[in-house]
Amino acid sequence: MARFVMVTSSLAPGDALGNDIRQIAQLLQADGHEVKYAARANLVPDLEVWSLTDCSKRLTSKDILIYNHSLALPDGLALFRQHRGLRVLRYHNITPAELLRPYNTELAQGCVFGREETLALLAAQPAAVWATSAYTAQELQNAGAKISAIFQFHMIDELHRTPTDAVLAASLADGRKNILTVGRIVPNKAPHRLIEALGFMKAQGWPLPRLHIVGKVTPGLENYAESLHARATELGVAADVKIHHDVTAGGLRALYQNCQLFAITSDHEGFCVPLVEAMSFGLPVVALAAAAVPETVGDAGILWPTPDARVWAATFARVLRDDALATELSSRGRRRYAEKFTPEKSAAVFRAAVQVLLAASIP
Amino acid sequence: MDLDLVKSEILRDVFRDGMTAPTRASERPLPSGQAPITWPAQVLKEAKEAEVLTTVKTSLPKFFNPLFRKQNLVNRSLIASMRAGADGLAGVMHTADRLTNEMEVLRRLVVASGVSPDAKGLPQVRRAARIGEPIVTLPWVLKQIGRLPAGATVLLAGCMDNLLNLELASLGFKVIGVDERECGDDHPNFKFIEANPAAPPLAPASVDAVIAVSGLGRATPGAMTVQAPDEADRAAMLAWRRILKPGGAVLLAIPFGKTSSTDIRQLYDSPTLDALLKGWTVEVREFAVCSPLQSWLYPTPEPEAGRTTVDKAGRSQAVALVLARK
């Protein structure tokens, strides 16, 4: 049995990156392997995590290093380069800098550095490269990488098992329709477009749903989060936009169960776990056909190539009033989840990738 | 159910019937007592003459007013928050974003736009601008430019985020700006080429000088690279050497100081600078440093510049200013 060391910039409960890493670790442990974590920052309680400095001292050439790359981490890159054992590049995604630049030049610069580090990581010739989607795989292939496997883990099963927040659920079941979007509140995910669409719905005099925006504010992008309030006020829909920064798992389940539509207007997604969560709950999906979103949604939702607020407003109105369409989208979503994204499907791909990796480690 | 049919029905509804645009609060009259900002007549007159001036004229109040209320003009998050509310300033800010110091280019744009020097806030902007490298590197280029023949052909490696292209063109130099995005400048002596500034697509021995200074773009040696800066920069130096005429000059401003392997930005020190300039005839090798009082001081002895480090934002606190000939 081997010892795997999972290196990442940060570990946080509830985010897609942290969930993916924890799921990989759990599968490896279930198969009898030892797993260690190393991160610059750890927010997961009761989890032993090495600092990157400690990691560099403790790594041996027998360890298999899985490097989770999602942003610039120079000391992580140094660790990856110096490791003499097997190295795996697990690429999540890095936001294109131009999407962040208008709001925070330093974060944008970090993305530039992150992309430069991607090239440096590939130049170090990892034994395997694991991507989260065909979209992110293509990005690496364009840089000359050979992709070993494509998979993405999530914790949807756990979400389905979590007790629903009954108070929130009751507040949603008041007869009014609700639209949900989930994801960090950042410019590249562009929830402001949903507020614009709500503004158009109001201007037409159509029944106005509530819009629930669920997501944490990224440090350094508080200005964008604040701009959402300003935009909602500007359009006269402030009372109809609910922003949930710290929703619990039970609260999230209540929202998935009691909203009537899930919408994503993101310009850049490496996979988009919330879309899969929504499909697993049978929530009709409307999404912007950008980055990895089309391959995640497939034919299970309404995909628009444009963020035009008029089109989105009309789509929301149609889905919310057309029960047959909503039912069709709901069943398509559940079917797609069952066919493509159950934990068992991802685990099978992952285990095959590990087998290939371990075979390569035999001298 | 055919979703494509559903989508076509939605589009038909949108575009056949049209949709009423929402009424925005900002389009409503201002509350009483909240007077709109008035601009000097001269500014308004000039603003009509060029679109960029119109942008500056309409957007500066939005951008600067919150800055005036807060004293920390160089607080980056504050600047970013201004950005979020300054829709019309997007183009200007996009330019500013790519500079080492946004305030410097803003100051230059304000001055170039003809806004009264007495305009509220300009002194603060001027003070803020002094902390960026461009406050010393760009004037240094102008100081050295006399070493080039009059009317020389000059390549600006990275031309989007500065006014140097127009300034040199206005002085009679034939300026070729190379950048990965259109800079939008227009002058009879200025020609723009969309390309990688580190590998300009020009004929061998076709230019008299190449200028690559901090704040001019990504081609600056050491500016953007994290790993092995010498390799990428040596490649750029070779590419520039190829297009220079015999005796042609390269003018460089290079982040200088000491760094550790964990610093996100790697600087040049004396040995690596020597290596970069190997094979060139160095005519000017000078240094400037940012003092603890955040003013740039020039010239500064090389050993003193070599003792500086990067600040928390990854900015170098010293710069090597080099004019070398082929």
Q: Residue B282: phi, psi to the nearest 5?
A: -80, 120
Q: Inform me whether the pLDDT recorded for A195 exceeds 70.
A: yes
CB contact under 8 A, A103 and B77: no
Q: Inform me whether the pLDDT recorded for B37 exceeds 70.
A: no
- Contact list, A227 vs chain B (CB under 8 Å): 84-85
Pairing of strands A34-42, A87-91: unpaired
CB contact under 8 A, A302 and B24: no
- Contact list, B87 vs chain A (CB under 8 Å): none
CA-CA distance, A92 to A98, in Å (whole number)? 18
State the best of A98, A103, A105, A261 to mutate against chain B, taking most chain B CBs within 10 Å: A105
pLDDT of B82 = 37
Q: Which of residues 285-304 of A touch B (CB under 8 A)?
A: 299, 302, 304
The B-side interface with A (CB below 8 A) comprises 1, 3, 6-7, 9-11, 13-14, 19-26, 76-77, 80-81, 83-85, 90, 93-94, 97, 102, 224-227, 261-264, 313-314
Nearest to A111 by CA among A238, A260, A248, A270: A270
- Contact list, B74 vs chain A (CB under 8 Å): none
B136 or B227, which is more confident?
A: B136
pLDDT of B39 = 42
Q: What is the mean pLDDT of residues B37-49?
A: 43
CA-only gyration radius of chain B, Å: 23
Compute the half-sphere exposure of residue A156: CA atoms within 13 Å on the CB side of its CA.
23
Reported as a single tens digit per residue, the pLDDT across B241-269 is 999 999 999 999 888 888 765 555 567 88
Reported as a single tens digit per residue, the pLDDT across A92-146 is 999 988 888 888 888 888 888 888 889 899 999 999 999 999 999 998 998 889 9
CB contact under 8 A, B11 and A311: yes
Give the closest-approach CA distance of B181 to chain A in angstroms.
12
pLDDT of B161 = 61
The number of C-beta contacts closer than 8 angstroms across A and B is 107
pLDDT tier at A341, thresholds 50, 70, 90: very high
- In chain A, the percentage of residues whose pLDDT exceeds 70 is 99
Q: Inform me whether the pLDDT recorded for A363 exceeds 70.
A: no
Query: Does residue B95 contact residue B160 with C-beta atoms inside 8 Å?
Result: yes
Give the closest-approach CA distance of A285 to chain B in angstroms.
12
Neighbouring residues of B93: CB distance < 8 A, sequence distance ≥ 6: A102, B63, B83, B86, B102
Q: Inform me whether the pLDDT recorded for B309 exceeds 90.
A: no
Identify the top-confidence range among A286-300, B81-95, B184-198: A286-300
Answer whether A3-153 and A157-341 agree in fold: yes
Nearest to A227 by CA among A193, A204, A250, A266: A193
Compute the half-sphere exposure of residue A86: CA atoms within 13 Å on the CB side of its CA.
23
- Contact list, B198 vs chain A (CB under 8 Å): none
- Contact list, A311 vs chain B (CB under 8 Å): 10-11, 14
- Residue B305 CB-density burial (10 A; 0-12 exposed, 13-18 middle, 19+ buried): buried
* Closest residue in A to B99 (Cα–Cα): A105
Reported as a single tens digit per residue, the pLDDT across A9-34 is 988 877 888 889 999 999 999 999 99
Reported as a single tens digit per residue, the pLDDT across A259-273 is 999 999 999 999 999
Find residue A244's DSSP bridge partners: A214
What percent of the residues of chain B are helix, what percent strand, and what percent coil, each to the nearest 5?
40, 15, 40
CATH superfamily of A157-341: Glycogen Phosphorylase B; (3.40.50.2000)
CB contact under 8 A, A102 and B85: no
Longest dimension (CA), chain B: 76
* Closest residue in B to A72 (Cα–Cα): B264
Q: Inform me whether the pLDDT recorded for B38 exceeds 50.
A: no
pLDDT tier at B117, thresholds 50, 70, 90: very low
Q: Inform me whether the pLDDT recorded for A182 exceeds 50.
A: yes
* Chain B contact for A356 (CB, 8 A cutoff): no
CA-CA distance, A93 to A139, in Å (whole number)? 9
Q: What tokens were used for B224?
A: 């953007």
Give the closest-approach CA distance of A302 to chain B in angstroms.
7
pLDDT tier at B211, thresholds 50, 70, 90: very high
CA-CA distance, A243 to A280, in Å (whole number)? 23
* Closest residue in B to A123 (Cα–Cα): B227
Q: Inform me whether the pLDDT recorded for B164 exceeds 50.
A: yes
State ipTM. Answer: 0.87
- Residue B288 CB-density burial (10 A; 0-12 exposed, 13-18 middle, 19+ buried): buried
Peptide bond into B229 cis (omega under 30): no
Q: Inform me whether the pLDDT recorded for B85 exceeds 70.
A: no
Neighbouring residues of B15: CB distance < 8 A, sequence distance ≥ 6: none
Q: Inform me whether the pLDDT recorded for A224 exceeds 50.
A: yes
Q: Which residue has the tokens 């949709």?
A: B19
Give CATH for domain A3-153: 3.40.50.2000
Give the closest-approach CA distance of A5 to chain B in angstroms.
21
Give the closest-approach CA distance of B171 to chain A in angstroms.
33
Nearest to B67 by CA among B126, B117, B114, B6: B126
Which residues belong to CATH 3.40.50.150 in chain B? 134-325
Q: What is the mean pLDDT of residues B12-24?
A: 79
Nearest to A231 by CA among A267, A202, A266, A263: A202
* Chain B contact for A53 (CB, 8 A cutoff): no
Q: Inform me whether the pLDDT recorded for B93 exceeds 50.
A: no
pLDDT of B135 = 78
- Contact list, A299 vs chain B (CB under 8 Å): 3
Q: Which of B3, B19, B227 sits opposite A120 (nearest CB)?
A: B227
When mean pLDDT is compared across A284-298, A323-337, B72-86, B232-246, the lowest value belongs to B72-86
pLDDT tier at B97, thresholds 50, 70, 90: very low
Nearest to B233 by CA among B250, B245, B249: B250
Nearest to B319 by CA among B276, B273, B288: B288
Task: Please work out, in degrees rounded to the nearest 5, the angle formed at the alpha carbon of residue A77 by the alpha carbons of A71 and A81.
Answer: 155
pLDDT tier at B58, thresholds 50, 70, 90: very low
State the best of B220, B227, B316 to mutate against chain A, taking most chain A CBs within 10 Å: B227
Q: Inform me whether the pLDDT recorded for A294 exceeds 70.
A: yes
Q: Which of B26, B84, B264 sits opposite A223 (nearest CB)?
A: B84
pLDDT tier at B55, thresholds 50, 70, 90: very low
- Contact list, B3 vs chain A (CB under 8 Å): 299, 302
Q: Inform me whether the pLDDT recorded for A346 exceeds 80.
A: yes
At the topology level, CATH places domain B134-325 in: Rossmann fold (3.40.50)
- Contact list, B7 vs chain A (CB under 8 Å): 302, 304
